[in-house]
Each structure stands twice: as C-alpha cells, then as structure tokens.
Amino acid sequence: MNSSANSKLVVRCFSVSADGYGAGPGQDADNPLGVGGFGLHEWIMPTQTIQKVLFAKDAGTTGTDDDFATRAFENIGAWILGRNMFGPVRGPWPDESWKGWWGDEPPYHCDVFVLTHHPRASITMKGGTVFHFVTDGIEAALQKAREAAGGKDVRVGGGVATIQQYLRARLIDEMHVAIAPTLLGSGESLFAGLDLPSLGYKLTDHVATANATHLVFGTA
C-alpha cells in the first residue's frame, strides 16, 4: 500500500453495471464503452459537476450523486489510464492522428499517463492536459504520475484491466464504485478473479440514491 500521507492513488466514480461490468462488449470507435456502456454513466451525466466540467454549463442536479462527482476531481494532480480508455487503436500506433475521445481540450487539465506496450511521443492538448505514454508497467507509470502530481492525489481512470492490476499490486488506497441500475450481460467484469479482503481492502462506506449505489473501498 502507498505509505505516503500526502498523496493517494484513488479510483473515483468508476461505474459498473448491476452485474458487475465496467464496460460492455464490442468496444470500438462507435462504442467506446462497449455496447450499452453509456448506460453506466446515466447517474453522473446530469450532475452539476459534470455539466460544468464537460459542457461548461452552470446547471445540473445536486445531492449525493453530485457530491461524489465533485469529490472525484478534488486534489487530483495526475491521472493514469489504460490504453483502451485512451482510444480504440490497438497494436502499434499507425500514426499520431488519434489524440483521445475528448476533442482538443480534454477534461483532465493535468498530466495523464497512458499505459501501453507501444512507444509514442507525449501530446500537449489545450487546457493543460498532457498525455504521456508509458511502456514500462504500472509501477513506472505511478512513479511518473506521483512526480507530476506534486503531492496531490493520482487518479486511475480505468479501464477494468488497469484498475485490477493496481488492486492486485495493492497500490490503490481508495476506490469509489458506482453501481448503475442496468445490466450488460457481458463485457469486462471489475471484480472477476479478485479477492479484495485478501488484498487488504474493506468496504468503508455505502449509500444508495435513485440513480446509483455508491460503494467506497479502503485499505484494511
């Protein structure tokens, strides 16, 4: 586990279906979250926080769901993403045209470290987001992210395989999972093959709203 008192490795607002899937089947450019995957995020999209972050609107819902959305961005100094979270391109990069799902100004506004097996030069985007591509594993990515975060927390954005790797390495300090009231049937199962108690995790908080059930896991 991370022994630093100043910087945590966190997962926040990671949505899974009621049957445990963090993405649906058939991920591609037309279905970045897999078939049916957008249903995982219906709880968070109307919130005031997301309306402001993604759409620059001063509107949206408040309450518990919005509180979790707000907390997700607090004290975050860097992000770590799996390659599938960055885009649908597989294998060696054919060129440098793909720069993420988020347009010219991604919502991160800090350094983002993308796990990949294939080297690529860093990409500087509008609004302060810089994508770095890390080929030497999860611990190297975490070290680089902590250095970039400057004492703030590092957030693992996903996807499922990336979160599982950090959980198995006992590197995640806190994880918030939102269970959406939808079924996917297949896809990427977040908890498959994981024994969280044996890894040193326990459920520290839980609350249900009309739109999601929020679970917070911490270190035992």
CB 32 within 8 A of CB 101: yes
Instruction: Dump pLDDT digits (tens) for 100-118.
Output: 999 999 999 999 999 999 9
- Tokens 């983002």 correspond to what residue? 112
Token pair in block for residue 112: 């983002």
Spatial separation of the C-alpha atoms in residues 101 and 86, rounded to whole Å: 7
CA distances from 83 to 99, 116, 178 (A): 12, 6, 22
Q: What is the pLDDT of residue 161?
A: 95
Residue 16: helix, strand or coil by DSSP? strand
CA distances from 4 to 8, 93, 97, 103, 174 (A): 7, 36, 38, 34, 13
Ordered structural domains, the chain, with CATH: 9-89+106-219 (3.40.430.10)
Read off φ and ψ for residue 82, nearest 5 degrees. Answer: -75, 160
Q: What is the pLDDT of residue 207?
A: 98
Provide the residue-wise pLDDT of the chain in tens; the chain has 220 residues: 544 457 999 999 999 999 999 998 888 888 888 889 999 999 999 999 999 988 889 999 999 999 999 999 999 999 999 999 999 888 999 999 999 999 999 999 999 999 999 999 999 999 999 999 999 999 999 999 999 999 999 999 999 999 999 999 999 999 999 999 999 999 999 999 999 999 999 999 999 999 999 999 999 7
DSSP class of residue 17? -
Residue closest to 156 by CA, chosen among 119, 112, 217, 202: 112
Q: What is the pLDDT of residue 162?
A: 97
Spatial separation of the C-alpha atoms in residues 148 and 103, rounded to whole Å: 23
Q: What is the pLDDT of residue 3?
A: 41
